[in-house]
Amino acid sequence: MAKQTEGLEIVKVDRSNVERYVELIKALADFEALDPPDEEGKARLIRDVTSDPPMFHAYLALVDGVPAGYLAFYFTYSTFLARPTLFLEDIFILEQYRKKGIGRELFRFCVREAERRECGRMEWTALDWNTPAHRFYEGMGAKRLDWYLFRLTADDFKDALDR
């Protein structure tokens, strides 16, 4: 079992801490070798996570008041189960805070939220090269699905509509 992190607090992202959240998204982008949100994207993130109701939910993991990581999720709906699905969009822990049980606590936070909302399931994706994440999720009892993820970006919408 992972060791517990002393001083860990999980707090909702709101107007008072949203800039700290955006900084962690940049750290995740660096980790995944992706471009972080540009200034317009940052403005949309801030708007969407602090709106009432929020477009998605985000929480910071603070260790002694210092941001160590975050999670973001939203709800979809399963027509087969006739229940909501909690979709875990991001879970990220800064490198210096890994292996301290923070990721486990954030994941368990999501599981409790899925239970509270009477979800039929919880789903997420992990990059194919991120084997530490695969081991973590499988260690938490998750099962890997043999599904393909498809995507159209906003730049692709017009082409798709013209077909």
Report the catalytic residues.
Answer: 137
Q: Are 9 and 62 in contact (CB under 8 A)?
A: yes
Buried b (16+ CB within 10 A) or exposed e, 58-76: bbbbbbeeebbbbbbbbee
Q: Are 73 and 54 in contact (CB under 8 A)?
A: no
SS3 of residue 59 by DSSP = strand
What tokens were used for 157?
Answer: 């919408």
CA nearest neighbour of 68 among 39, 47, 91, 87: 91
Alpha-carbon distance 76 to 119, whole Å? Answer: 10
